[in-house]
Every structure is written in structure tokens, then in C-alpha cells.
């Protein structure tokens, strides 16, 4: 056996492109087009670099406390990590050990099957309906765990809380994770349900609605028992996941609720306007409750348009995958960025005499 036969081999997740160019309109990874809260800038200015000599607080208590206060739960019900990807990976490792298939949608966040493969967790993909909505009856079968992105990515659709509760209720013998990366753009969070269901973990991130993708902060809210198991796994892996500066910035960010409401409100307003304009151009899309639209056009090849947009310096996301290879996922940017997109699309279509 060669050393290479002894190596773990995995097919990694492919993140969206992060080009070095700054002169582009970047609508490809669902980042926030607005800066983080001014309170974050203050926290950075006030930061004493002498603290970097010391290890950070392994429990990230300041950030955990700020989140617990904000979401009105106990601090023992909150777990934080290096982006929600870190939180979700730890959750897969901790909760999905039964050896039975875990369940998730066929069209959803493409990291789920990557973690399942990495940790050797069997999984089964449940097909969304033709309109990409969730079929709750798929989640009534025996399983080793469940993960649902709600609102879903890359479709943008939200399942109502009643459906989520029905799934959690029917699966008291498994852990059900709800990934709410996009819930702050008009969605309804399942966080209040964690008081009622010990097996429910709700995961959120600072990357989209809190304008801090570059800082890497994610968190989970659940029952004390569920969070304790997650912490045990984390402390068996890497105690010091959150650094001093990140903890300080995260806390400052959560405490500035006014600014948070202002930027998410602006994005929702832009999204609703762009929905109308895209519809007028003949694009079809599920009714997004997120900071992106998942669009398709009956006469335009998605990959061709993706490349034409890129040529123009407008980056969007294209997935060459079954069911969605005629769709583009377009992040909602500033009004000016979306105007540039619409202007380009009108020109593109005029040149092809579609409109």
C-alpha cells in the first residue's frame, strides 16, 4: 500500500469566485453590498493589539451573550463558529452518527453532500417539487437526521414555519437542522421553536444580512442539551475557533440592531423592485425571500448569459447541475449595481431581438 492509498480523498465544495479585480459588479456570492455597522469600525479602532499575545476566550462568551440577549434565549443555547460553514460541519459531525441516511433536498446548499462524504455519513436527496417547493412528506421516512435550508439556496424559496414544525414534530428521534443563512430578508425564523423541540438546531450567519462575510461568524441556537453536545465536539477539535477581534466585532454588530434593520430593509426593497423589472424582461424565478434571485429565461441560455455578463464585469453564479443548469443566481446589490445589470440585460436582449 503506497502512502497515497492511505490518504483521505474527497471532492471539495467549490466556493463562488472571489476575483482580485475590484472594478467588477460582484453579484455571485450573496455578500452584502453595504458596509458593516459603524459600531464594528469603532470596535476595530478600540482594539488593543497587545491582547493578541493571549489566547482568546474559548467560549467566546461576549459574543454568545450578545446573541443570547438579541434572540432572547439562554447563553447555554447558543454556539458560535467560524462562519456557519464551521458550525454546520461541527453539527454534521456531532449529530449525524446513526449510520442511517440523513435527508436533504436535491436542490439546496451544495456543501451538505460534501460534509456527508467527508464524514462518511450516508445521505438521501429528496426531490423538490417542480416549482422547487419543499414536499414535507419526503421527511416522514426513517432517517439519521435532517437538514433544511430555509429560505432555500439557490432557489430563494421559503417554506412556512408550519411546515418546518411539522417536520420537526414528526422527527423527534433525529436532530433536525434548519439553515437560516437568508432568514433576515423577510423570512420567519424557527428560533422560537427551540424552546418546544429539544431536537431542533437553527443555524444563522453574519455573512449575508450582517455584512461580515470576511470576518467569518456563524452561530447556532438550540436546546441546552443539543448545544452542550456541539461544544463537546468543538472542544475535541479546536478550542480557540473565534479570535479576539472577531468576538469584539461580532458583539458590536449584534448590538446595532437599527443599522441591521436599515440595510436588510434596503436590500428587500431593491429585491422587490428588481423582481418587477426582471419579470418585465421575461425572466421567471421562484418568489425569493432572500438577498438573491434565481432566474431563468425561456429564450436565453443561462451559461451563455453568465459568460456575457462576466465579459461585461458583472459576476453572477451559474451551477452546471441537473435541474438548475438553465438558471442564474443573482445577488441583490445596491440599486446602482442592479440598474447596471438591468441596462445590460435590455441591451443584450435587444441585440438578440427578444424584446
Ligand X SMILES: *Cc1c(COP(=O)(O)O)cnc(C)c1O
User: Each residue of 239-274: b (16+ CB within 10 Å) or e?
Assistant: eebbbbbbbbbbbbbbbbeebbeebbebbbebbeeb
Q: How far is CA 197 from CA 97, 164, 177, in A?
A: 20, 12, 12
Least separation in angstroms between CB 340 and ligand X:
24
* Chosen residue from 60, 66, 116, 149 binding ligand X by CB under 6 A: 149
Region of 41-49, 83-91, 280-288, 299-307 interacting with ligand X (CB under 6 A): 83-91
Q: 204, exposed or middle or buried, with CB in 10 Å at 0-12, 13-18, 19+?
A: buried
Least separation in angstroms between CB 42 and ligand X:
23
Least separation in angstroms between CB 242 and ligand X:
13
* Chosen residue from 79, 95, 109, 219 binding ligand X by CB under 6 A: 109
Residues 213-252 that bind ligand X (CB under 6 A): 213, 218
* Chosen residue from 32, 40, 153, 175 binding ligand X by CB under 6 A: 153
Q: How far apart are CA 138 and CA 166, in angstroms?
A: 12
58's CB contacts (< 8 A; 6+ apart) are 235, 239, 240
Q: 2, exposed or middle or buried, with CB in 10 Å at 0-12, 13-18, 19+?
A: exposed
Q: What is the dihedral of CA 331, 287, 185, 68, to 10 degrees?
A: -120
73 versus 153: smaller Cβ distance to ligand X = 153
**For residues 215 and 248, is the Cβ–Cβ distance under 8 A?**
no
* Among 193, 136, 137, residue whose Cα is nearest residue 163: 136
Say how many residues touch ligand X, by CB under 6 A.
13
Number of Cα atoms under 13 Å in the Cβ half of residue 34: 20
80 versus 309: smaller Cβ distance to ligand X = 80
Least separation in angstroms between CB 213 and ligand X:
5
Least separation in angstroms between CB 147 and ligand X:
10
Least separation in angstroms between CB 190 and ligand X:
14
Least separation in angstroms between CB 39 and ligand X:
20
**Residue 207 interacts with ligand X (CB under 6 A)?**
yes
215 versus 345: smaller Cβ distance to ligand X = 215
**Residue 138 interacts with ligand X (CB under 6 A)?**
no
**Residue 31 interacts with ligand X (CB under 6 A)?**
no
Chain residues that interact with ligand X, rule: CB under 6 A: 30, 83-85, 109, 149, 153, 179, 181, 205, 207, 213, 218
Amino acid at each position: 500500500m503506497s502512502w497515497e492509498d492511505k490518504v483521505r480523498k474527497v471532492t471539495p465544495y467549490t466556493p463562488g469566485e472571489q476575483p482580485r479585480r475590484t472594478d467588477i459588479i460582484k453579484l455571485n456570492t450573496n455578500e452584502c453590498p453595504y458596509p458593516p455597522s459603524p459600531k464594528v469600525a469603532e470596535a476595530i479602532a478600540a482594539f488593543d493589539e497587545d491582547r493578541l499575545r493571549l489566547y482568546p476566550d474559548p467560549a467566546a462568551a461576549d459574543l454568545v451573550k450578545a446573541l443570547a440577549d438579541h434572540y432572547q434565549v439562554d447563553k447555554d443555547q447558543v454556539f458560535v463558529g467560524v462562519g456557519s460553514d464551521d458550525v454546520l460541519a461541527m453539527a454534521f459531525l456531532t449529530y449525524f452518527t446513526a449510520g442511517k441516511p440523513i435527508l436533504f433536498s436535491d436542490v439546496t446548499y451544495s456543501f451538505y453532500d460534501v460534509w456527508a462524504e467527508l464524514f462518511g455519513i450516508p445521505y438521501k436527496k429528496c426531490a423538490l417539487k417542480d416549482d422547487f417547493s419543499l414536499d414535507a412528506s419526503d421527511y416522514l421516512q426513517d432517517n439519521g437526521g435532517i437538514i433544511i435550508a430555509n429560505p432555500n439556496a439557490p432557489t430563494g424559496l421559503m417554506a412556512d414555519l408550519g411546515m418546518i414544525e411539522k417536520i420537526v414534530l414528526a422527527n423527534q428521534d433525529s436532530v433536525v437542522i434548519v439553515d437560516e443563512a437568508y432568514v433576515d430578508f423577510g423570512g420567519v425564523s424557527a428560533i422560537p421553536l427551540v424552546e418546544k423541540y429539544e431536537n431542533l438546531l437553527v443555524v444563522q450567519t453574519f455573512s449575508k444580512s450582517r455584512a461580515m462575510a470576511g470576518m467569518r461568524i456563524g452561530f447556532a441556537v438550540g436546546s441546552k442539551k443539543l448545544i452542550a453536545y456541539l461544544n463537546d465536539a468543538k472542544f475535541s477539535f479546536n478550542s480557540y475557533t473565534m479570535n479576539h477581534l472577531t468576538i469584539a466585532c461580532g458583539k458590536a454588530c449584534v448590538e446595532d440592531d437599527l443599522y441591521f434593520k436599515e440595510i436588510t430593509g434596503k436590500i428587500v426593497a431593491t429585491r422587490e423592485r428588481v423582481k418587477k423589472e426582471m419579470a418585465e424582461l421575461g425572466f421567471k424565478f421562484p418568489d425569493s425571500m432572500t438577498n438573491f434571485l434565481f432566474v431563468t429565461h425561456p429564450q436565453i441560455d443561462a451559461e451563455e448569459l453568465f459568460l456575457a455578463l462576466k465579459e461585461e464585469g458583472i459576476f453572477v453564479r451559474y451551477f452546471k447541475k441537473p435541474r438548475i443548469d438553465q438558471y442564474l443566481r443573482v445577488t441583490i446589490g445596491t440599486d446602482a449595481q442592479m440598474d447596471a445589470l438591468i441596462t445590460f440585460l435590455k441591451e443584450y436582449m435587444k441585440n438578440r431581438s427578444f424584446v
